Amino acid sequence: EIEAKYTKKMQVLRDELDLRRKTEIYEVEERKNSHISELMRNHEKAFNDIKNYYNDITLKNLALISLLKDQIEEMKKKENHLEKEKADVLLQNKQLKEPLQQAQEQVFELQKKLAHYDKDKEALTNTKARLKVTQKELKDLQWEHEVLEQRFSKVQAERDELYQKFTKAINEVQQKTGFKNLLLERKLKGLLSVLEKKEVELSEVFAGSNLDPGALSLVSHKLEDVLNSKNTTIKDLQFQLARVCKAHNDMLQTFEAKLTAFGIPLDNLGIKPLASPVPGQ
C-alpha cells in the first residue's frame, strides 16, 4: 500500500514537473522569438538608416562632381583666353622693346641730372633748416641768460638777507641761551648748596637729639620725601637746561646747512655748540 501510495504521488509529481517544464520552455521560446523579432526590426531600421545616409552622400558627391566638372570647363575656357592674351601681350612687348630701351636711356640721363639737382636742393634746404634752428637756439640761450641773471641777482639778494637774519637770530638766541643757562646753573648750584647745608644740619640734629626710634623713623621718612622732592626739582632743572642746549645746537645745525646751501664758508662763524649738563644726554 505504501509503495502504491508513493508511486502514485511520484507519478503526480512527475506530471506536474513535466507540465511546468513545458510551460517554461514555451515562455523561453516566446521570449526568444520576441527578442529575435526586435533584433530584426532594429537591424532593418539601422540598415535603412545607413542606406539612406550613403544614398545622401552619393547624391552629394555626384552633385559636387558635376559642379567641379563645370568649374574645370570654366577654368579651361579662362586658361585659353589668358593664353591668347599672353600671346598678344608678348607681341606688343616685342614691338615696344626698342622704344622702351631708348626711353630708359633718356630716363637714366635725366635721373643723373635730377640726382645732382636734388642733392644741391637738399643741401640748401638742410642749410636753411640748420640756420633757423641755430637762430632759435641763440634766441633761447639769450633769453635763458637774461632769466638766469635776474634769478642770480634775486638769489644773491635773498642770500645776503638770510645771512643777516640768521646772524642776528643766532646772536639773539646765543645771548638768551647763555643768560638762561647761567641762571639755571646758578639756581642749580644754590639748590645743591642748600641741600648740603640741610643735610649737615639734619645730621647735627640727629646727633644731638635723643629721639626714640619711632619718632626718628617718622622724621627720616619726612626728610626722604623732602629730599626726593628736591631731587625731582634738580632733575627738572637739568632737563630744562639740556633742552635749551639741544634747541641751540639744532638751530646752529640748521643755520650751518643754510649757509652751506648758499655757498657761504663756515670758518668765521664764531658760534659753537653747547655741551649738555646732564651726563648721557
How far is the CA of 57 from the CAs of 48, 54, 134, in angstroms?
14, 5, 81
259-276 pLDDT, tens per residue?
777 666 666 555 566 665
Which segments of 180-260 are extended strands (E)? Answer: none
Which amino acid, residue 281? Q
pLDDT at 139 over 80: yes
How far is the CA of 115 from the CAs of 15, 111, 120, in angstroms?
127, 6, 9
84-127 pLDDT, tens per residue?
998 888 888 888 887 778 888 888 888 887 777 777 778 788 88
Q: How many helices (H) and strands (E) does the chain have?
A: 2, 0
- C-alpha span between 276 and 113 (Å, rounded): 92
pTM of this structure: 0.28
| Main-chain phi, psi angles of 263, to 5 degrees | 80, 25
**Domain ranges (residues) in the chain:** 215-280
14-41 pLDDT, tens per residue?
999 999 999 999 999 999 999 999 999 9
- C-alpha span between 63 and 213 (Å, rounded): 135
How far is the CA of 215 from the CAs of 208, 210, 223, 228, in angstroms?
14, 10, 12, 20
pLDDT at 212 over 60: no
Contact assessment for residue 180 and residue 244, using Cβ atoms and an 8 Å cutoff: yes
Contact assessment for residue 245 and residue 184, using Cβ atoms and an 8 Å cutoff: no
